[in-house]
Amino acid sequence: MGMNYGDYQLGIYMNGARGVLPDLPMDSAAMEELAKSRMDPRILGYVAGGAGNEYTQRANVAAFERLGIMPRMLVGAAQRSMGINLFGHALPSPLFFAPVGVLGAVTDDGDLATAASSAELGMPMVASTLSQAPLEQVRTAAGETPGFFQLYPPADRELAESLVHRAEAAGYSGIVITLDTWVNGWRPRDLSAAYLPMLTGQCLANYLSDDRFRKLLAEQGSTDPAAAVMLWASLFGNPTMTWEDLEWFRSLTSLPIVLKGICSPEDTRRALDGGMDGIYCSNHGGRQANGGIPAIDCLPGVVEAAGGAPVLFDSGVRSGVDALRALALGATAVGIGRPYVYGLAAGGQAGITHVMRSLLAEADLTMAVNGYPDLDSLRGSLHRL
């Protein structure tokens, strides 16, 4: 008998028979509550908060509950395959760590702890530009598991080029360019606390370790921490970036390039026509713009427009069943964001691994009970409620 991800629950029940109860919560909501009790209120606001009155953030989550999976019986799903192929990499599961730019503020080693869980689970990490450890260290910590580097395109082209080339040299398997964060969205929780971690010098390791950034800093004549922060703030986002820039990005690297923040079929086609290799359908978990459309409702149109190109997805995934719903709608891989950050806050690396194993177990057992032996069989199984 092979192992299924659902077997994670057997170990928990066996421990219980010996009187050993789990030391971490078993569902996302309870983990979030525990994490909240352990987090600095400003960092909690930064992680938990969204744009405006957070309607889009709530809608992202609620939209999944309108999608039901049709159960099919007696189909012999004793062994489930959850493996996928992404840019030539055979991966054991369809889940990945979505980029989170504040892991190093949640715990000092948050980026490296996430990378260690990536190594342990064989689950790719999309490493954020905004990390407390340089991208090279994060890549090393992820071991044999492929990883991707998420780039916030800076206003300085040579800095963008430097970061992309560093990611390539460090062994990343692709570049994810985030398009929806060249300016910070209106986030009342962060504004009320007047808190942006980067302005206190946190999570800027990739800039401070970069030759191009250091050269620009030296040209300013002051290299003290405050000057570095102000330089970062002036360079962080590129307000003039347009579709025409894709040709230049394409010329920088032979690695696959994925555009993150795409929700429109038209933008999907333009991205692929512009030489991009994949699409990352996401509305930044409702953090950046309120008044949006739940990302899961945008996914089918993006998948259709992508015409077989890989489509990564995140925003609002809070359970293994949510992940299955996104996969059933055609996502190639599904990113987990806030749930693993709460795992990190509540229990460090062990907490991250527990969250991801729990999500995988729930997805696997749901496939088993509903009679879906692999991810392909899920396609077309959803019914709108």
Q: How far apart are CA 372 and CA 76, in angstroms?
A: 9
> What does residue 110 show for φ and ψ, rounded to 5 degrees?
-55, -40
Burial label for 63, CB within 10 Å (0-12, 13-18, 19+), is buried
Q: How far apart are CA 123 and CA 361, in angstroms?
A: 14
**Contacts of residue 96, Cβ cutoff 8 Å, sequence gap at least 6:** 123, 124, 125, 126, 312, 333, 334, 335, 336
**Contacts of residue 380, Cβ cutoff 8 Å, sequence gap at least 6:** 328
CB 318 within 8 A of CB 61: yes
> What does residue 244 show for φ and ψ, rounded to 5 degrees?
-65, -25
Using CA of residue 110, residue 113, residue 118, residue 119, what is the dihedral sign? positive
Beta carbons within 10 angstroms of residue 365's beta carbon:
19
Residues serving a catalytic function are 284
Q: Which two tokens stand for residue 307?
A: 């015409």
